Chain A
Amino acid sequence: METVTITMKNVPALYLEADNISPDAFAGKTAAQIAELSVHEGNTTSTLGNYFEVIGNAGATAAETKIVVKGDVKKVKYLGFKMTAGELVIEGNADLYVGAWMTGGKILAKGNIEAFAATAMKGGELIVEGNAGNYLGAAYRGDWRGMSGGKILVKGNAGSDIGMFMTGGEIVVNGNVDVHAMTHAEGGRLVVKGNANSKVGGQMVDGEIIIFGTIDTMMPGFKPVDKVELEVDGVKAKFSHFIGDMGERHKKKKGQTIYANLYVKA
């Protein structure tokens, strides 16, 4: 594994769209070639080297490439965009679309990240040590295909609308989440160690939500069925089990109607 370290030297005045900062775009390139990759600031196309100091050459493939992003990148979007393999470490806070459309590899964000991270993620791993913004693991605007695979761990809190239209994979949030978690989801799993705000699982067709804390206001479309004991992340506890969203269409499997399952710690 070769490591490329890029350090912000000229903070952009506007937001920087850096969809080339990924192991896939860097693979097989020298530091000088990486500095020539394009970035966009407003309507101006420029090079990565105008903003970042680039040290180290990339590996031959994405899988053999690790990128460390240093400095102030809180105005940089699309870090790890469409990455398929390799590693990306973001030392500070980052803007929108971290790991969007990623299908593999690993991203470690040591600070906070803004909205739309892991949009339509298909695989790989995203770990956020700070907080994540809204629409984490959700579908793109208008689309009905949210996160379908991979794993997201947020050690802080996450915003609203996370896991919207999720169809697979897992999101674990150690802190709290805001409104509209897993709206329209048709699969996948969300674990919230803290509390969830209202409207959890609205129009959810399939999938699973586990809340260790409380839900501010329960959706009326969720129906209590029983109490169960679950082991989640090595913790055994008793949960109230709800199914829903009763107002939505549901698939049938072997004559049984499939509902989304919502578990709230009893």
Chain B
Amino acid sequence: MSEYIIKNGHVFDPVQGIKGDKKDISIKDGKIVDKVSSSAKVIDARDKTVMAGAVEIHAHIAGPKVNLGRIYRPEDKLFSCTPTHGMERMGGGASIPTTFKTGYEYAKMGYTTAMEAAMPPLFSRHVHEEIRDTPIIDEGAFPVFGNNWFVLEYLKNHEVENTAAYIAWLLRVTKGYAVKVVNPGGTEAWAWGLNCLSVNDPVPYFDITPAEIVRGLIEANEYLGLPHSMHIHPNNLGNPGCYETTLETMKLAEGFKARNTFGREQVLHLTHTQFHSYKGTNWADFESGAKEVTDYVNKNRNITIDTGNVTLDETTTMTADGPFEHHLTGLNHLKWANVDVELETAAGVVPYIYSPNISVCAIQWAIGLEIPLMMKDPMRCYITTDHPNAGPFTRYPRVFKWLMSTKARETQINAFKHKDKVLSQTSIGSIDREISLYELAQMTRAGPAKSLGLSAMCGGLKPGMDADVAVYNFNPDKPVANPDDIETAFSRCAAVFKSGVQVVQNGEIIGTGHKRTLWVNAKVNDNPQVMRDIAEKFVKYYSMTQNNYEALGKTFVPNPYALEVDATHA
């Protein structure tokens, strides 16, 4: 493999505590190294910003619900197609881009790792086929567990060991990465036409509460010592007053300590926090609960969060929170798709327009920015748009601009039709913090990598780590003349390396790298009871046989990378 040296760039690397110093980054055989030979290819990064490849902790980029969005929204592709260009295949879609466009767009922005946030286990083959067809970026997928019949039945009797054995089995057969929970119990309740809006609402038939599911899954996750923690989209998403449910959910993690060998410190990751930080009793007195939520997170080190920034675009919402999507179509009257995934989960899809002329959307925009600006530790707060729910991931550079420039925020606030309402219902107008490049690297690289248990592999530029490197046309020594320059610089990298292969040059794709599927192989003690339960459920309830369930082989996971976990207990 070839050698590279990225010379004279301003390096920002929280892993090594480098804050913009001029440093050379050497790459050899796919890894960051201390030095390379004189024949190494030189990349001139003078007056440029150098960071590790960014890590996406939560996005919906592969699988049946993403594809359903693509199928039922031809209008999303209408004026957003990109023809074949250089070595890029044609792509299309604005809020739900095709797999190829997804890979290219992430890479061009300097992202080299991304996590698909909700994999329905029954459709893991479909998820992996799309991951396979998404070029360049390393990807993992989180199977959903919060409404799974096995989990509900085991945790009803607090059988943590059985739950853990089931999780280990499911991660292995679906090539999954982490334990995802969406509206615990609520999506299952939706099959009865009900929902769980608090952590104490019982799930019909199963007679278990969301609180028991969440605590049980944290216990099982730590019993296994998985790389990532339980990753939760709590109950009561998107409703005024939901911040109380969010606080109750986070309190369930009290007393738990992370137990793993991957350097992870949290036991609960709260996702798209913006959607869970609403105060008020209805859409008229709707206001921000960002302070209450971030106050709690700031005090409790066993929690990490991501933001879920609203980008003020027309987009496509999609979630395993089936009842929420039904609720949403009732609000905006746009087309609604819904599916029930047998014993496991459900999903819904509804298009949504975050209009700057609607006060609720503008307040959501403000809350999404308040959260990272109120977080004291950028290593525990990661920037996402919950793509495509709060906006397409292609808008990250715009979110960075808003976070890094009060002037950019003021410009946007002044452009809102209901500016006064935004200022009275949130505190966005009084926050003058501007996220630094170092903090940005924490929020988009080192932080999410650590939370995912990947800190030894990516998110930093320490020798020995994977050579995922992004070079931006951004000179940190020069004052920003126009905040839009931030957006421009972070939209298209000067150069990107993925595992030591250059994949982007001057914003154009020049290589497709060495794409891998990350998954977690947890070894547990033999558990005949769980294996029997699985076999029985397939015979009795599943519409497919157990033999057809597994995502395996070259067709589905052609280039796997397993994180090995020894969870055998003496």
Interface of A with B (CB < 8 Å)?
139-144, 249
Q: Is the CB of A140 within 8 A of B74?
A: yes
Interface of B with A (CB < 8 Å)?
72-76, 78, 333-335
Q: Which of A140, A142, A249 contacts B72 (CB 8 A)?
A: A142
A143: B residues at CB distance < 8 A:
74-75, 78
Q: Which chain A residue shows the least CB distance to B79?
A: A101
Cα separation A143 to B78 with both chains bound (whole Å): 10
A139: B residues at CB distance < 8 A:
75
Q: Is the CB of B75 within 8 A of A140?
A: yes
Count CB-based A-B contacts (< 8 Å). 18
Q: Is the CB of B333 within 8 A of A142?
A: no
Q: Which chain A residue shows the least CB distance to B74?
A: A142
Per DSSP, are chain B's interface residues mostly helix, strand or loop, or mixed?
Answer: loop
A144: B residues at CB distance < 8 A:
334-335
Q: Which of B75, B333, B334, B335 contacts A141 (CB 8 A)?
A: B75
A142: B residues at CB distance < 8 A:
72-76, 335
Cα separation A77 to B335 with both chains bound (whole Å): 29
Contact sample, A vs B, 16 pairs, CB 8 Å cutoff? A139-B75, A140-B74, A140-B75, A141-B74, A141-B75, A142-B72, A142-B73, A142-B74, A142-B75, A142-B76, A142-B335, A143-B74, A143-B75, A143-B78, A144-B334, A249-B333
B73: A residues at CB distance < 8 A:
142
- How many Å from the CB of A68 to the closest CB on chain B? 28
Residue picked from B72, B78, B334, most chain A C-beta under 10 Å: B78
Q: Which chain B residue shows the least CB distance to A249?
A: B333
Q: Is the CB of A140 within 8 A of B333?
A: no
B334: A residues at CB distance < 8 A:
144
- How many Å from the CB of A215 to the closest CB on chain B? 26
A141: B residues at CB distance < 8 A:
74-75
Q: Which chain A residue shows the least CB distance to B72?
A: A142
Q: Which chain A residue shows the least CB distance to B76?
A: A142
A249: B residues at CB distance < 8 A:
333
- How many Å from the CB of A118 to the closest CB on chain B? 16
- How many Å from the CB of B332 to the closest CB on chain A? 10
- How many Å from the CB of A148 to the closest CB on chain B? 14
Residue picked from A140, A142, A143, A249, most chain B C-beta under 10 Å: A142
Cα separation A143 to B333 with both chains bound (whole Å): 13
B75: A residues at CB distance < 8 A:
139-143
Cα separation A139 to B78 with both chains bound (whole Å): 12
A140: B residues at CB distance < 8 A:
74-75, 78
B78: A residues at CB distance < 8 A:
140, 143
Cα separation A139 to B333 with both chains bound (whole Å): 16
Q: Which chain A residue shows the least CB distance to B335?
A: A144
Cα separation A183 to B389 with both chains bound (whole Å): 29
B74: A residues at CB distance < 8 A:
140-143
Cα separation A144 to B74 with both chains bound (whole Å): 11
B335: A residues at CB distance < 8 A:
142, 144
Cα separation A139 to B73 with both chains bound (whole Å): 12
Cα separation A249 to B74 with both chains bound (whole Å): 25
Q: A141-B75, A142-B72, A142-B75 are in contact. List 9 more A-B contacts (CB 8 A).
A: A139-B75, A140-B74, A142-B73, A142-B74, A142-B76, A142-B335, A143-B75, A143-B78, A144-B335
- How many Å from the CB of A140 to the closest CB on chain B? 5
B333: A residues at CB distance < 8 A:
249
Q: Which chain A residue shows the least CB distance to B333?
A: A249
- How many Å from the CB of B164 to the closest CB on chain A? 44
Cα separation A143 to B353 with both chains bound (whole Å): 13
- How many Å from the CB of A23 to the closest CB on chain B? 20
Q: Which chain A residue shows the least CB distance to B73?
A: A142
Cα separation A135 to B76 with both chains bound (whole Å): 19
Cα separation A139 to B75 with both chains bound (whole Å): 10
Cα separation A141 to B75 with both chains bound (whole Å): 7
Q: Which chain A residue shows the least CB distance to B78?
A: A140
- How many Å from the CB of B28 to the closest CB on chain A? 43
- How many Å from the CB of B498 to the closest CB on chain A? 32
